[in-house]
Amino acid sequence: MQDEERNVLNKFQHGNIAAFELLFYQHRRAVFGWVLRIVRNPAAAEDVTVETFWRIHRSHARFDPSRSFEAWARSIATHAALDWMRAQRPESAIPAEPHELAAPSEGDPAIAAEIRQRTAEAFGRLAPKLRIAATLAVVEELPHKEVAEALGISVAAVKLRVFRALRLLRKDLQQQGITP
Amino acid sequence: MNANEEKRMKELLQQALPPVRDADPNRDLWPSILRRVNARAVAPSTFGWVWFDWALAGGLVVFAALAPSTIPVILYYL
């Protein structure tokens, strides 16, 4: 870490707003991109990014300047996104009259599109903590270690959450007559 | 769920939710953050006072437990 960077981090830790602003402009894109990967909605990602930097500022005294600001910010962003997801209404219930659908994306494109739509809806009904783990590890294909650090849990716990998410998703789809 | 089923579910999920590309926010978010920071600086910290009140009450209880004879004196000054 360079002296200038360390100096900025030290100033931030002591509550210096100019240093905080500098860190915001340095890391806003990374934080916004991370949040967007989780919430998958640009307008919501902007709100969560504001909330994230607000929490970062609020916690400035707890920041350890010898550690990575980006990793710390990512962890705070993940928890802010999780809170946002918990505050949202879950996706609408499973359709009342399920009908059989041929499995994967091959064949009729309309059926494939419907399966994708139903998969996305079923995924939206999962618990937020399972959704985040599966989104980052499966959809975004990020290393489990990186996901674990962001969520503040072990790699084994990430794998377990991903497995539970996929199992519940499969069960939900099967209840709708879709055999993945 | 076996390994094949797990793999198939991962593929299905990736088809349903394509990865998000890197993007920038549509607006400058700094003014919104600064407003919240300034609002907090102006508003008194409710949590801080609650914390202080509870610490003071806890201290008095501990003090009274250690020296019961001082309870009348404490009550007198309340």
Q: Which residue in B has a C-alpha nearest to residue A142's C-alpha?
A: B19
Which has more confidence, A123 or B1? A123
Confidence of residue B17 (pLDDT cuts 50, 70, 90): confident
Q: Which residue in B has a C-alpha nearest to residue A51's C-alpha?
A: B33
Do B11 and A104 count as a contact with CB atoms less than 8 A apart? yes
Do A180 and B5 count as a contact with CB atoms less than 8 A apart? yes
Mutate to test the interface with A, among B29, B34, B45 (most CBs of A within 10 A): B29
Do A116 and B36 count as a contact with CB atoms less than 8 A apart? no
Nearest to A53 by CA among A100, A21, A83, A101: A21
Q: Which residue in B has a C-alpha nearest to residue A52's C-alpha?
A: B33
pLDDT recorded at residue B57 = 85
Q: Token pair of A122, please? A: 């079923």
Q: Which residue in A has a C-alpha nearest to residue B20's C-alpha?
A: A37
Check if B61 contacts A (Cβ < 8 Å): no
Nearest-10 crossing angle of helices B3-16, A109-124: 100
pLDDT recorded at residue A104 = 47
Chain A, chain B: beta-carbon pairs less than 8 Å apart: 101
Domain ranges in chain A with CATH number 1.10.1740.10: 3-87
Query: Under CATH, to which class is A109-175 assigned?
Result: mainly alpha
Residue A178 pairs in a beta bridge with A101
- Asked if A98 contacts A173 with a C-beta cutoff of 8 angstroms, the reply is no
Residue A101 pairs in a beta bridge with A178
User: For residue A140, which residues of chain B lie inside 8 Å, CB to CB?
Assistant: 19-20
Q: Token pair of A158, please? A: 């990430």
Render pLDDT for B22-75 as a digit per residue (tens, 0 to 9). Answer: 788 889 999 999 999 888 766 555 555 677 788 888 888 888 888 888 888 877
Q: Which residue has the tokens 């769920």?
A: B1
pLDDT recorded at residue B47 = 56
pLDDT recorded at residue A1 = 61
pLDDT recorded at residue A99 = 40
Q: Where are the alpha helices (DSSP H) in B1-78?
A: 3-16, 30-42, 46-66, 71-77
Regions of chain A with pLDDT less than 70: 1, 90-111
ipTM (interface predicted TM): 0.74
User: Going by CATH, does the domain composed of A3-87 fall within 1.10.1740.10?
Assistant: yes
pLDDT recorded at residue A33 = 93
Farthest-apart Cα atoms in chain B, separation: 76
